[in-house]
Structure 1
């Protein structure tokens, strides 16, 4: 049986890198997609020949299609894709919002997810594959004026629709929805919040579930 292959966006750090590390430890081959080529190459040095560095921009559909084709050329197929890349905003609410920053965020958090799914779907259909999407607790509750939260509501809604669409070929879609995670997303360390390894374990739990079991969402919050 061929080795399972997983493509991850936003793979150079945080949740993406942690998921790649755990997936490789559990026998997956992993395609690492992000803008930072130096960070990707450093991860490949760490992970070895089970990892492939695929530098590119998640807001560019052609970048994603080309990277996916390169990865599938090395692995022979694609079992799963993790649309994990995301960005936040420097100011919350509507009045204080920066329109340019909104456009950038929608490019990553909304279009980046759409382009990842579009690029992956033809390959996933061949292996009854699996999509993972990074949602958020902010996509399950209403937060005063949160445009970032609204982008994650899109992810949650689209993920549910994908679950229905992918039934036609035996595929599955899982939304990984964490509360606050201790990543570079925040200026200050958050040692008492979720760690990236917690989220990575949730992603692998969904990926490794028996094919009869579709884990549609993993919602996780810090204990404190």
Structure 2
């Protein structure tokens, strides 16, 4: 269990869910992990759970000053990065075109697209040749789900940035791939339910859209991130890896 021995990783959006599960897996594989999140209480709890190989830095990816502070901290620690998992993101359900507000548009694009773009840009000086960049996409980018237009558009943008960056960064020895999770039982997904009492039914309804008829555990998504981050995927770049229980491939 040492696929990432002596490696240093940065995971954004790592306080809960897929980000936290991936941090756990990376540390189990020997990595040192910087983790970020906007909510200090949750981030600190995650760091305590992960132990001494986790370094928590409170950061909002949509805030460029926060990003500068984050990468300044990594540089001040005299660390360079081997892995960047640009995972921070979010969205709001039930926002059809006729009720969409500029505030929701700006907030969602600010976190999912602007935040990802400048996280990757500002990480470049610290990334070692041979490093791996993993972006979090979404099966929503392949579907026309009513009320999810802005969120879906942000994830379609991430997919295209992944393609372009794979071409741009290959001469630097960097690989860029996009991970596409399906329904995954995380606090973030449950938070999209109309109210907490309906969260379980909401997740179950999404899970029924997959051939496997269940939601993923975050640890299952973390396994796929590990594959893309490690030398096991050394000849893979510019790709999408669907970890969606067959949702998009079987029920396009």
Match of 1:217 in 2: 240
1:140-190 residue CA offsets vs partner (Å, 9 max, x unmatched): 333346221011000000011111111111110110111221112233133
| Structure 2 CA distance for aligned equivalents of residues 29 and 139 of structure 1 | 32
Match of 1:139 in 2: 141
1:98-144 residue CA offsets vs partner (Å, 9 max, x unmatched): 321121111101111011111111111x4332111100111233334
Q: Which runs of 5+ in 1 are unaligned?
A: none
| Structure 1 CA distance for aligned equivalents of residues 141 and 105 of structure 2 | 16
Match status 1:50 vs 2:67: no
| Aligned residues: CA RMSD | 2.0
Give 3-state SS (helix, strand or coil) of 1:128's partner.
strand
Deviates most, 96-105 or 26-35: 96-105
Match of 1:10 in 2: 13
Match status 1:89 vs 2:100: no
| Structure 2 CA distance for aligned equivalents of residues 219 and 2 of structure 1 | 26
| Structure 1 CA distance for aligned equivalents of residues 231 and 6 of structure 2 | 16
Q: Which runs of 5+ in 2 are unaligned?
A: 194-198, 205-213, 248-252
Deviates most, 160-169 or 88-97: 88-97
Match of 1:205 in 2: 227
| Count of residues in Structure 1 that have an aligned counterpart in Structure 2 | 223
Match of 1:22 in 2: 25
TM-score w.r.t. length of structure 2? 0.82
Whether contact under 8 Å (2:82, 2:130) holds in the other structure is: yes
Whether contact under 8 Å (1:91, 1:97) holds in the other structure is: no
Give 3-state SS (helix, strand or coil) of 1:168's partner.
helix
